Every structure is written in structure tokens, then in C-alpha cells.
Amino acid sequence: MLLSDSDIQSIWLTIRLALVVTVILLIAGTPIAWWLTRSKSRLKGPIGAVVALPLVLPPSVLGFYLLLAMGPNGPVGHLTKALGIGALPFTFWGLVVASVFYSMPFMVQPLQNAFESIGDRPMEVAATLGASPLDAFFTVALPLARPGFLTASVMTFAHTVGEFGVVLMIGGNIPGVSRVASVQIYDHVEALEYGQAHRMAAVMLIFSFLVLLALYAWRPSTLKMAKRD
Amino acid sequence: MKLVKHLFVICSLLLVTSAHAEKITVAAAADLKFAMDEIATGFKQSHPGHDLEVVYGSSGKFHTQIQQGAPYDLYFSADIGYPRELAKKGFAASEVKPYAIGRIVLWSNSMDAAKMTLAVLADPKIARIAIANPKHAPYGKRAEEALRSAGLWDKVQSKLVFGENISQTAQFVLSGNAQVGIIALSLALNPELSKHGGYYLIPDKLHEPLEQGYVITKRGAGKPLAKIFSDYMGSKQARRVMTKYGFVLPGEKAGI
């Protein structure tokens, strides 16, 4: 057997986490990206900046804030305890919340680019044909932005798979709950199990390469978009 | 062109800064965090003109990094096995010296750990117990051994969260995310932690001794300061600090 059971468990956990985060961000990120594209509000700049923060913030900053905020004595912790969920650190859903923040720009920015490239014209035409803004969004903007959704989803998924620092700080390294693939590799290295570390690392490397290769093959313009980000 | 020249000058200035002063870098296990800080301060006071930098982390990680050429002149491990292995592989420039025996304690931020015993951990009211990762952290290994000897491992296993090293384990408890943790006595005795709660000393019959050792690495071989600091570790001042933080020194009896 190339990978141990706990290796495979960590890979499954990683895939599950990345899938959940991608779905949540598709739902939550789309309206944010749309608003950032269309709005003329003065809040556009600040909110765009907040969304992009995880691109430049060290994961330790995010991990530190989340650990305190979601802990039993933090504001989020008080809320989740009142709701009967308990404190979020060291749980799968804690990782989901952290990853939603951490991967947000990877969903919102490609979507925003896609929406911007549609321009005002198709939306105006839809409006003159009597479509309500909501209708126009679903029947015109969404189909036109489909490639953007693909890019955004793949980037979000891949970026969540590649997460490490935040998970290390709030995960607690629990098998099947928060011991994701990147942490598992770290543990192998720490325990001097280089053979296992090599095999897991190779899996991650090949996965990441294939994802990006598929993305670029599908949409050569992604490269350009990434640069514009 | 002028701009390029300026940039070049700035870059070279940035590169050469720390090249001359007599300076050593010490890699120390996370349980030494507070004790070694104090020892380093004392060393700098009694040896003016010498500079010493301490880096803290997990013993296992340093062990790997030193083999890959990490710039550490001395290596203080929480498990004497790691430096011994380095010495065997030719990465050491001195014999491996034992410097302390570590102890593990139960510690809590929200409950009075001084009144606890290990059996309390099975209580359903305790949802999360932090220990260092037994896979590679020496304190985690001893914590697992103690829980196993006490017959509690199976009962508490589902409640365990694993810190990357013993400092992170303590931090999980300090932040309230785990109600209890098994941490190093040296950390529990630090004012920063002790003002938040007492500790219960886990009987050392329950686990293998946490024999800790250090070594001068190959990189520190040519540096007189490395040798001076190594000698300083045996001095009365340094030993006093180690004792203060609950370390049992080689050749001494536990007296806490």
C-alpha cells in the first residue's frame, strides 16, 4: 500500500473540506462579487479590500484572530454556544468557517472579473426587454459568466486544499476532523517519516499541477485574469 | 541607472549587517521558552559584547532542519534521543550533554488543576484535552504514556486535540479552547500561565523520563562563544533558573 489509512483519511477530509467551502463560497461569493461589480457605493473600496485581505495577511494573523474569536470566550464562541453548537475551534465546521474567509478572494475576484467583462450593455438590453434585475441576473449575467464560475470554483477548491497555517492554528490536528493532508505531511516530516511524507507530497504536487493544467487548458485567458488580480 | 545603483547599495547594506559581531544562534525546545529567555538575558549581562539568539520550536523539527544545514550553533532538545542521533550522523561538534529532566503537569485556565488528578479527564464535563502531538513531540509522547498507564487513554482519546509543540498545547488551554491540557511544568510555572491557574504534577512513575540533552552542532564547532555558552549552562546562575522552572537537573533529586 502506497498510502497509509490515516493518509487516505486526511486526503478525504481535505476533499470534503474543499468541496463544502467551494459550495458555500459559490452561494455567498456570487452576490458579493456582483455587488462589487455593479455598486457605485462608497463602501465598494473598503469591502473589496476586506475580501482581498487574506491574499496578503499571514495565515497566522487570521488563525490567531479566529482562534480567539471562535473560542469559548470570544464573541463568535459566545454566539455559537448560545445556539447550542459549542465552540468552533478543533471542529470540522470551525475549519470550514476559517477556510471560507481564507479562500474568499479566490472565489470573489475571478467572479468579479467575469461580471465586469460582461459590461453594462447586456444588462441594459435585458432591462429594456422588460426583465427585472433579478431575472436579468439569472438569465443573462450568470450564463455569460459561466467560465468565470468555473475558474473561481477550481481556484477556491485548490486553494482550500493548499491551506496549512490557519488549520495548524485552529485545527488541533484531530484525525478525521482537522488533520488535513497538508498537516499530515507536516507530521510525517516532523516524525522523520520521509518515505510517507514523500508519497503524500507527491500526491499533492501532482494534484495541484493537474488542476492548474486543466484550468489553463480550458481557459487560456485565466493567466491573464490572474495577472489582473 | 542611478536608481539601479542606489538599489544595489541598499541591498548590499541589508545583506552585510549582521556579519561581524560574535553571535551564536541557539535552537531550543519549546518547553525552554521562559527558562532559556532568562538564561540568555543573564548570559548577555555577564558576557557583554557577545550576542546570543534563541529560536524556539519542536525538537523534532530542529533535528530535521539541522541535518539540512540550519544555522543553529547549539541544539537543546526536549528528548536527548534527537541530539544523540545527530551526533551519530556526524552533525555534532561536542558530546551530547544531558541538561535536565522535564516533568509534565495537568493545567487548566478555567478549573483549579491543583485539585485535579488524571482520573478527572474522563469526566464528561471535560470536552477537550490538549496534549502535544505524541507522534513527534517528546512531551506528547510522555503525555500519551501517562494516560495509558493510568488506564485512561481509551476513555479520553476522542477528546484529545494535538498541539504542534508544547507551547501551542499550552496556548490551546490558555485561550480556553481546551479546558485542560498536559503541558510542561516549566511552562506552567511561568507567571504568564501560573496567574491563570495552578497545576497538578503528574507522577513520573507513569511515564518514561523526559531526559533532555543538548549538543554543539557542526556549524557551531569553530565558534568559541558556543563553547562559552555551553559552559555557562553548568553555571550556578543557569542552574538556578532551570530549577526555578521545575526542571530536575542531572545529578539532582526531584524536590518540588
State phi, psi for B243 to the nearest 5 degrees. -65, -40
Gap from A137 CA to chain B (nearest CA, Å): 43
B65 three-class SS:
helix
Domain assignment present for B250: no
Cβ contact B176–A190 (<8 Å): no
Examine the pLDDT at B46 and tell me if it is beyond 60: yes
Contacts of A67 in chain B (CB under 8 A): 175, 177
Domain assignment present for B256: no
How far is A12 from A176, CA to CA, in rounded Å? 8
Gap from A62 CA to chain B (nearest CA, Å): 15
Cβ contact A173–B172 (<8 Å): no
Q: Are A176 and A104 in contact (CB under 8 A)?
A: no
Domain count, chain B: 2
Examine the pLDDT at B11 and tell me if it is beyond 80: no
The predicted pLDDT at position B209 comes to 93
A-B contacts (CB, under 8 Å): 53
Residues B136 and B164 in one domain: yes
Residues B116 and B194 in one domain: yes
Residues B178 and B114 in one domain: yes
Contacts of B176 in chain A (CB under 8 A): 71-73
CB-closest option in A90, A187, A190 to B161: A90
Cβ contact B133–A89 (<8 Å): no
Lowest mean pLDDT among A45-49, B72-76, B250-254: B250-254
Domain assignment present for B255: no
Domain assignment present for B82: yes
Mean pLDDT over residues A87-113, rounded? 94
Which of B68, B174, B175, B196 is the best mutation test for A, with the most CBs of A within 10 A?
A: B175
pLDDT over 90 for what percent of chain B?
Answer: 68
Question: What CATH number is given for A5-228 in this structure?
Answer: 1.10.3720.10
Lowest mean pLDDT among A110-124, B6-20, B30-44, B214-228: B6-20
Nearest CA in chain B to A68: B175
How far is B111 from B234, CA to CA, in rounded Å? 37
The predicted pLDDT at position B18 comes to 46
CA nearest neighbour of B210 among B171, B179, B159, B254: B254
Cβ contact A192–B64 (<8 Å): yes
B180-234, pLDDT tens digit by residue? 999 999 999 988 888 888 899 999 999 999 999 999 999 999 899 999 999 999 9
CB-closest option in A73, A173, A174 to B176: A73
pLDDT over 70 for what percent of chain B?
Answer: 92
Mean pLDDT over residues A109-114, rounded? 95
Residues B48 and B170 in one domain: no
Range of the domain at B169: 104-201
The predicted pLDDT at position A173 comes to 86
Contacts of A168 in chain B (CB under 8 A): 164
Domain assignment present for B254: no
How far is B256 from B238, CA to CA, in rounded Å? 18
CB-closest option in A90, A190, A191 to B128: A90
Which of A78, A85, A177, A190 is the best mutation test for B, with the most CBs of B within 10 A?
A: A190
A193-214, pLDDT tens digit by residue? 889 999 999 999 999 999 889 8
The predicted pLDDT at position B60 comes to 84
Contacts of A73 in chain B (CB under 8 A): 175-176
Averaged pLDDT of chain A: 89
Cβ contact B162–A174 (<8 Å): yes
Domain assignment present for B1: no
* Location of C-alpha cell 537543546: B76
Averaged pLDDT of chain B: 89
How far is A126 from A135, CA to CA, in rounded Å? 9
How far is A11 from B119, CA to CA, in rounded Å? 35
Domain assignment present for B2: no
Domain assignment present for B229: yes
The CATH number that applies at residue B51 is 3.40.190.10
Lowest mean pLDDT among A152-156, B16-20, B34-38: B16-20
Q: Tell me B248's DSSP state.
A: B
* Location of C-alpha cell 502531538: B133
B120-178, pLDDT tens digit by residue? 999 999 999 999 999 888 999 999 999 999 999 999 999 999 998 899 999 999 999 99
Q: Supply the pTM of this predicted model.
A: 0.80
Contacts of A187 in chain B (CB under 8 A): 133, 135-136
Question: Which of 150-189 (A) contact B at CB < 8 A?
Answer: 168, 172-174, 187, 189
C-alpha dist (Å) from residue B204 to A114, A174, B64, B147:
63, 27, 29, 12
Confidence category of residue B37, pLDDT binned at 50, 70, 90: very high
How far is B150 from B128, CA to CA, in rounded Å? 18
